[in-house]
Every structure is written in structure tokens, then in C-alpha cells.
Amino acid sequence: MTDAPQPARVEDLAFDDALAELQRTVAELEAGGQPLEAALALHERGAALIDRCDRLLNDAQLRLEQLVSRAGGTLETRPVAPDEAIDEPNG
């Protein structure tokens, strides 16, 4: 007898993969018909997927902030507007 493949660790999933799995998990829960233990496991995995997506979105937001030089040499961060290009350092 072969075992079903183990799902990927939530911590290893890229955002798009985590979001796609979350959507499948929600659809499966909404369809119903699972035994209680299976429904609980789906709910727990869904909660972990939500946390993963949230962390990745927060990380992306931080990466989109820029340090800007102000007059006098002080630095401040500012959000990057959606239509601004992100300058990457050469190197």
C-alpha cells in the first residue's frame, strides 16, 4: 500500500502556492462531507496558510519601502508608489 504524498510544509510555500492551496482548502471545507477530524485538520492547515500569506505580504510591503535622503543628511522611509520603478543596486 502506498501512502498519499505529504503536503508541502506551509513555511516552505511561495505566496502563490500558499494562496492557491488556501483557496482549495476553503472550497473543500465549504463543500462539507468530511469527518470531523479531517475538517479540523483542513481548518488548521487553512489557518496556517492564512498566516503564511499574511507574513509574505507584510514582508513584501517592507521591501517596497525606500530609504530617502532628506536635506541635512537624515534618512526616512517612504512607501513606493505603485507606478514607481524600484531601483535595484548594481552589483
10-residue mean pLDDT profile of the chain (91 residues): values are: 70 96 97 96 97 94 68 69 53 38
Give pairs for 13-19: CB < 8 Å, separation 24+: 13/49, 13/52, 14/56, 15/53, 15/56, 15/57, 15/60, 18/49, 18/52, 18/53, 18/56, 19/49, 19/53
- Looking at residue 16, its pLDDT comes to 97
- Looking at residue 62, its pLDDT comes to 78
Closest CA to 64 of 85, 88, 40, 80: 80
- Looking at residue 4, its pLDDT comes to 58
Instruction: Report pTM.
Output: 0.68
Give the amino acid at 47.
A
